[in-house]
Amino acid sequence: MSGYAPSEAARRSGFSLDTLRYYEKIGLLSGIGRTSGGRRVFTDDDLSWLTLFRCLRDTGMPIAEMCRYAELAREGEHTAGERQALLQRHAERVEEQMHLLQRQYDHLREKIRYYDGT
């Protein structure tokens, strides 16, 4: 198991150091190890969580739902169905947003073609 300094975890995850601290403070990240000097050390497992959080955040999941997902995961395997349902609802919202963006993109491209013709 590898250990990463906060700066390396931030670089690898794309989150700022402040965001990593915030995620730990609100309980989104839990059990972050510490050196004997008190410095945080992130593991590969922590980075896997951060990869998931990056995906969820980038696709617009509210922080409260991210926290709920993490809480359920920590409760154990018996919450797998609830976690799946939470992710499924989010995926449906993302799909709706993608359709909206595609329609808006098509409209934008149509306007650009209009100006190409003038």
Domain housing 38: 3-116
pLDDT per position as a tens digit, 17-46: 999 999 999 999 999 999 989 999 999 999
Residue 6 to residue 89: CA distance in whole angstroms: 32
Q: What is the per-residue pLDDT for 1?
A: 52
Q: What is the per-residue pLDDT for 117?
A: 84
In this structure, of 2-6, 11-15, 56-60, 102-106, the range with the lowest mean pLDDT score is 2-6
Q: What is the per-residue pLDDT for 118?
A: 67
Number of domains in the chain: 1
At residue 33, the 3 state secondary structure works out as: strand
pLDDT per position as a tens digit, 4-18: 999 999 999 999 999
Question: Where residue 23 sits, what CATH number does that domain have?
Answer: 1.10.1660.10
Residue 12 to residue 73: CA distance in whole angstroms: 23
Average pLDDT value over all residues in the chain: 95
In the chain, pLDDT over 90 holds for what percent of residues?
Answer: 93
